[in-house]
Amino acid sequence: MSERIKTPRGTFDVLGEAALARAALEGTARGILERAGYERIETPTFEATALFARGVGESTDVVQKEMYTFDDGGGDSITLRPEGTAPVCRAYLEHGMHKLPQPVKLWYLSSFFRAERPQHGRYRQFWQIGAEAIGSDDPAVDAETILLLAEILEAIGVQARLRLSSLGTPDTRAEYKTELQAYLRAHEHALSGDVRDRIDLNPLRAFDADHAGTRQVMEGAPRLLDRLTDEDREHFEIVKALLDGAGLTYEIDTALVRGLDYYTRTVFEFTSDALGSQSGVGGGGRYDGLIEQIGGPHTPGMGWAAGVERMLLASPRQPVAPPPVDLYVAYAKPEYREEAFRLAADARRAGHATRLELGGRSLKGQLKQADRAGARYVAILGDEGTSLKDMESGEQKTVEPGTVMHHIRGTL
């Protein structure tokens, strides 16, 4: 026998109960987002590499180390999408969505790809549910999107902490970056090699470090939140007031940095202790400069994405019932197969969830299958004609061939 081929590292199959639990979660999220006026968007699985290099940022881990990038065979560089915000902004521009009433509110449920070291809750192909509201800088957009993710997490029983901060404008950030770099250089001896190497490129990541010495240095580091302009501060104050009014609790986390470069002003993350080291269930923020970065006019935007696998891992296990079966069509001998086939097809066309015996089982075996599937009715085609068994009452009666549908209609 030749060697068996398995799923690639960091990927997984979705089946059985896990597929049912996933579908239930997706249905809950879809309901909450669509009731809030978000419309579904799907973008291609791969995009021009430049979209992510420019949108997500050259200095980020995602772009530097985690992208699946390859030549499309014609000399163009393409990349399996590592995230959804840049693609949605690309679509907003490409379809002239600025002509629609603003903000344009879009949601997605897609798989994403990052060549990370796999671990519990961290995969190379993973799914996100995401929401983006593009075209308005109203702080109510920030508060509303955050509230929607909170609502989804609550609906699926995930207990998560909300961490909130503001990164201000790119100018404030640039000034702050210089200040932070000077601070880091003054404490260079105590920093980890990794952080030291990135002082020039991405000093903000120092807040993310696990290294004890670095963490100690960062406790005394200047905070961006103390450097915001009056306008940004006011924006943030309104976001907080709206969240307070909605009764949502949050912690201000001055050290909150997100792994993607496009954020401006509000940033947030929901974390769950149920997840271990990969505690981020979902997060996002405002990205008022992103559309300009990818070649469009200045257009504000705000959104988030939550990992489907992490939401499932963090939510209490609730067995999800498989979809009900209305009718199971069994037959006593192979010569009744054709009639059984026809009856099953007719029943499905009439909208009944119907199963047909396909495994060549004995009649006894078929009835066992019907019972296992939880079928409400079983039609048995045999020498004595057609009989219909009501599995709920146990009652069985002979019916005229062709009247099965008539008998079950109205009782399901």
**Given the rule CB under 6 A, which of 116-124, 176-184, 330-338, 374-382 is the region that contacts ligand HAM?**
116-124
Answer for which of 81, 90, 105, 122 binds ligand HAM (CB under 6 A) is 122
Give the nearest residue (CB) to ligand HAM. Answer: 307
Cβ pair 161, 251 in contact under 8 A: yes
Of the candidate spans 211-219, 230-238, 277-285, 339-347, the one that interacts with ligand HAM by CB under 6 A turns out to be 277-285
Q: Judged by CB under 6 A, which stretch of 147-155, 222-230, 284-292, 346-354 contacts ligand HAM?
A: 284-292
Q: Do 52 and 63 form a contact (C-beta atoms < 8 A)?
A: yes
Q: C-beta of 180: minimal distance to ligand HAM in Å?
A: 22
Rounded to whole angstroms, the Cα distance separating 389 from 379 reads 6
Minimum gap (Å) between residue 260 Cβ and ligand HAM: 6
Q: Which stretch binds ligand HAM (CB under 6 A): 78-86, 162-170, 247-255, 324-332?
A: 78-86
Q: Is the distance from CB of 306 to CB of 356 less than 8 angstroms? A: no
Regarding 203 and contact with ligand HAM (CB under 6 A), the answer is no
Q: Does 114 bind ligand HAM (CB under 6 A)?
A: yes
Is 282 near ligand HAM (CB under 6 A)? yes
- 304 counts as binding ligand HAM under rule CB under 6 A: yes
Task: Single out the residue of 312, 281, 310 nearest to residue 22, CA to CA.
Answer: 312
The answer for residues whose C-beta is within 8 angstroms of residue 84's C-beta and 6 or more apart is 43, 108, 110, 112, 128, 130, 132, 305
3-state secondary structure 42-54: CCCCEEEHHHHHH
Q: Is 386 left (phi over 0), alpha (psi -120 to 50) or beta?
A: beta
Residue with smaller CB distance to ligand HAM, 87 or 203: 87
Indicate whether 300 belongs to the interface with ligand HAM (CB under 6 A).
no
Choices 82-90, 168-176, 199-207, 241-249 (CB under 6 A): range interacting with ligand HAM:
82-90
Shortest Å distance, C-beta 304 to ligand HAM? 5
Tell me if residue 285 falls in helix, strand or coil: strand
Which residues, 6 or more positions from 370, have their beta carbon under 8 angstroms from its beta carbon? 325, 328, 330, 355, 378, 391
Interatomic CA distance for residues 364 and 250, integer angstroms: 59
Residues 84-113 interacting with ligand HAM (rule: CB under 6 A): 84-85
Strand 325-331 with 280-286, pairing = unpaired
Binding mask 124-163 for ligand HAM (x = CB under 6 A): --x-x-x-x-------------------------------
Cα first-last separation, the chain: 49
Q: Tell the smallest beta-carbon distance from residue 258 to ligand HAM (Å).
A: 6
Q: Which residue has tokens 């490409």?
A: 94
Does residue 208 interact with ligand HAM by CB under 6 A?
Answer: no
For ligand HAM, the closer CB: 203 or 283? 283
Region from 79-87, 156-164, 226-234, 345-353 binding ligand HAM, contact rule CB under 6 A:
79-87
Total residues interacting with ligand HAM, rule: CB under 6 A: 27
284 binds ligand HAM, rule: CB under 6 A: yes
Task: Considering the complex, state which of residue 188 and residue 251 has its C-beta at the smaller distance from ligand HAM.
Answer: 251
Point out which residues pair with 134 in neighbouring strands. 104, 301
**Residue 307 interacts with ligand HAM (CB under 6 A): yes or no:** yes
Query: Which residues 6+ apart lie within 8 Å of 88 measured at CB?
Result: 41, 43, 106, 108, 130, 132, 134, 303
Label the pairing between strands 251-252 and 69-71: unpaired
Distance, in Å, from the CA atom of 20 to the CA atom of 17, rounded to the nearest integer, reads: 5
Question: Using the rule CB under 6 A, which residue among 150, 206, 281, 329 binds ligand HAM?
Answer: 281
Contact between 79 and ligand HAM per CB under 6 A: no
The binding site for ligand HAM (CB under 6 A) comprises 83-85, 114, 116, 122-123, 126, 128, 130, 132, 259-260, 280-285, 287, 303-307, 309-310
